[in-house]
Structure 1
């Protein structure tokens, strides 16, 4: 099979790491194991990624980072909505995928501009703040400000309202995040010890390794969480059918 225009897994990771620093070869392989990627193979078994494969991977990473979507949902959207002749990102694009997010993330925005910027009511953003999902900051003049980095999270919470999941329901995730962060911190301490000691110098390389380890832990714990929830939901509906 000709390899013109195809990239090895290492080159794919190197190409995308500038935009997604936590990307690693192991994560790309994990996405393949989960059925989200299906690269070609050489006769000797080496993976070769086409431009379509790379674009699909970029889409997956974007949706994870900016839309906070679980892999199962991303797979359904990519497999179910990718039309012939169109890219996966084009197929699932919507008003919630705004190209100015990167620019907005660098700024604080008055809360009264949320209907204009995000299409959500000011009252909804305040409810998210009261539930602890997002913090609000104060301007020198006392105005409530929203961090642009929270825009994707606000949109995700807004989409959940269509399923009857509101800000009050999300308090449990705030509590869980606070609890789980302690677990991740301890795990990173163990990781540091294995790497040569907790007090090792925080070089750029060490920070990169920590970031990759943390990202992998998030991916794996998401898989555990998704599986446990799916199992319980399946059990509940199975009992209802009896």
Structure 2
């Protein structure tokens, strides 16, 4: 749960006596739950109409406790449910109108079955249908086919998609709002494939091992290496651009 300050100076620019917060204060409040959030992310969500902070005569943003709570809801739905901003905005607006709107589901759980799998049962990979992916990304068939043509999202043999495809689709859609087209993202896809290949080379001997515990350890090692490569990739991009994210 987000804890919003009641006023007074905290992190960043001081808040006003009315309890409104500067963007720096909001950033530090949100980072308790969302350590990856940045000032640029908050500004982007404002530009997309998710929040409407007040402005001082000098043009500085001032956020209310309601703004911070709404930001928390947005970030939580992105993180936990892989929803694009369009769907999140419509959902929150409906809630504020007093409508009982269920949160869109991307099929990460089996309907009517909240039980955990038995220890001997391998957990099934989360999957979503084509219709769910279109809804999550807020795009039409033409756009999805274009993304597939560049290998950005790939259907499984039965036409469904891995749940992570919703995250990819949402990011591709957001980049598109900045004029970055799917064809521009081929270099990112190629780099990701090479990084995945490098990780696979490292864990391949573990996957082939006769000891079941060693093979199980391969999955944990894969996740660890994947996390490190993502961090390195982000750091290299920031260095190349000469910027440092908060």
TM-score w.r.t. structure 2 length? 0.49
Q: Which has the higher contact order (CA 8 A, sep 6+)?
A: 1
